Amino acid sequence: MKVVIVGGVAGGATAAARIRRLDERAEIIVFERSGYVSYANCGLPYYIGGVIADKAELTLQTPEGFFERFRVDVRVLHEVTAVDPARKIVMVKNLRTGGVFEERYDALLLAPGAKPFKPSLQGIDNDKIFTLRTVEDTFRIREYVDKNRPASVVIAGGGFIGLEVAENLRERGIDVTIVQSAKQLMNPFDPDMAAFLHAEVVRHGVQLMLGHAVTGFESNGTKVRVRMEGAPPLTADMVILAIGVQPDSSLAASAGLALGLKGGILVNERMETSVPGIYAVGDAVVVKHFVTGKDALVSLAGPANKQARIAADNICGRDSRYRGSQGSSVIKVFDLTAASTGINESTARASGIDADKVILSPLNHAGYYPGGKTMTMKVVFERGTDRLLGAQIIGYAGVDKRIDVLATAIRANLSAVDLKDLDLAYAPPYSSAKDPVNMAGFMAENLATGLVKQWYIEDEPALPRDQSVTLLDTRTEAEFRRGHIDGFVNIPVDELRGRIAELDPKKPVYVICQSGLRSYIASRILCGYGFECYNFAGGYRYYATVKNDACLIRTSTPCGMDQPED
């Protein structure tokens, strides 16, 4: 059997190694148009910033090493220019010599990945404008920064690459501005959770221009002027385009393979395309989203590697199936860690799902053990069924651990209430006896059983200030003085029973505290006295961060609301 693989990064390299492990006699040829194979895409921004000092660390394998261990013929700087499914051949161009030749195959695997979206804007071919996809792109950016010592950079796009490059260039002392057409960074997160990311990047000196699309570029002496919609132009020493990616599916299209969402290659559960014997994996393929069941493009290394293994199995006569992607991801944003899995609240509602959520701010480990750090968790589930839909967590420590637990729970079809029963490891330096994931389950159970009713940040503008309801803040007097929501009265939770007569039991009570815990206790006290109570989802710490962010987006300046830790 002769297998030809187009693309030698995550999907292609993984598939080649798996095929060899399953079939010692197969002839395997990998064509990679860049000069490197099996390189660490996710590490590229960190070489630009100098965190990864040695460029050799970016390449996990070399063509020589691949052949030595796996007897795989890896040919870099070879571009497959056409596929003829009827004759089972590919046309290949040797980018070193310019020569063109045919290569026959019995099975063909396409792993071309995704390419940076480069819109047709005036001036976009300026030599001070860069994109980041390959090792060569990384070297060009690093070389430009080392040689020219730019003082400023505009990054168009606020996704994974844009944010990671922003951090690394900022750490090198460069003034960084992120321009993003959406009014938030990192679309996997809901706007309220993205507020924590905005605060962090601004705290580290990054300027955000959110809600502004780039409309063109022009040279300005030794600099680049970036024109924007709805804002004055910016001038910088260099520009990096990180607007997004699109499936690199032109080869598949020209071969007559069926395409789907945004030009992605359509595949079945076996990763087989519309043409028998041709498989495709990675960022270029359309998959089913595990939560919604809808078509999705998921440009992440984890799914690409899993798909490659499945395609390799099926090429070798086994029967493996890909059950869908749920988009689990994690990113370092200066001192913060941000992670998500499944779908967010915005996507759920856009998909017609009646979503509810719990928002909590637990410490990463036991409070009495030194060094505990607060994280913010948002767990989204379907109202009525409690089906887990997704989760987002932002914090300083323990974030990756919790998101992986929640990702596993979604994959296992657990409900939000089932989280309370998970038996998770505990020791004071690592967690609490009631882990944050368990706490999310307890909160979901309270909602499911009617023990607690919630009100949300989006409800606040409409809350009556006419004394028809009671607006109650149960934090300490000192916390209340540092910042509170207009119209709320302050009765600390520990004084509530003694001051219950100050409240009218005929009026609904909307309660808030710093993190949601004290207001929950207050709600139970008030319910015991016959009051109708609604507990705020998230606490004042969360509320202040989101409201600060609204000012940041509107004026590019935070409101300065106090955000003390609980």
**Annotated catalytic sites, by residue?**
42
φ, ψ at 505 (rounded to 5°): -65, -10
Task: DSSP for 211-252, please give it.
Answer: T--EEEEEEETTEEEEEETTEEEEEESEEEE-S-EEE--HHH
Q: Cβ-count burial of 252 within 10 angstroms (0-12 exposed, 13-18 middle, 19+ buried)?
A: buried
Tokens of 353: 């799902």
- Tell which residue, 341, 337, 159, 151, has the closest CA to residue 243: 159
Question: Measuring CA to CA, which residue among 270, 248, 245 is closest to residue 259?
Answer: 248
What backbone torsions phi and psi does residue 99 show, to the nearest 5 degrees? -70, 150
Backbone CA torsion sign across 274, 257, 9, 165: negative
* Tokens of residue 102, six digits: 């045919």
The pairing of strands 223-228 and 265-266 is: unpaired
The interaxial angle of helices 191-203 and 539-555, nearest 10 deg, is: 70
Cα(262)–Cα(270) distance, rounded to whole angstroms?
A: 21
Tokens (6 digits) for 99: 């020569």
- Cα gap 46→44, rounded to integer Å: 5
User: In angstroms, what CA-CA distances link 449 with 84, 446, 519, 539?
Assistant: 61, 5, 18, 21
How far apart, in whole angstroms, are the C-alpha atoms of residue 284 and residue 171? Answer: 32
Secondary structure letter of residue 317 according to DSSP: T
The continuous run of DSSP H or E covering 195 comes out as helix 191-203
For tokens 């089972």, name the residue: 88
Does residue 404 contact residue 353 with C-beta atoms inside 8 Å?
no
> How far, in Å, are 125, 181, 213, 226, 345 from residue 229 at the CA level?
20, 9, 5, 10, 28
What would the two tokens of residue 347 be?
């996507």
Cα–Cα–Cα angle for 396, 346, 400, nearest 5°? Answer: 25
- H or E stretch covering 536: strand 533-536
Task: Burial-class residue 29 by CB neighbours within 10 Å (0-12, 13-18, 19+).
Answer: buried
CA-wise closest residue to 89 among 147, 164, 31, 23: 31
Q: Measured between alpha carbons, how far is 1 from 23 in angstroms, rounded to an integer?
A: 9
- CB burial of residue 332 (10 Å; 0-12, 13-18, 19+): middle
State both tokens at 230: 């709805």
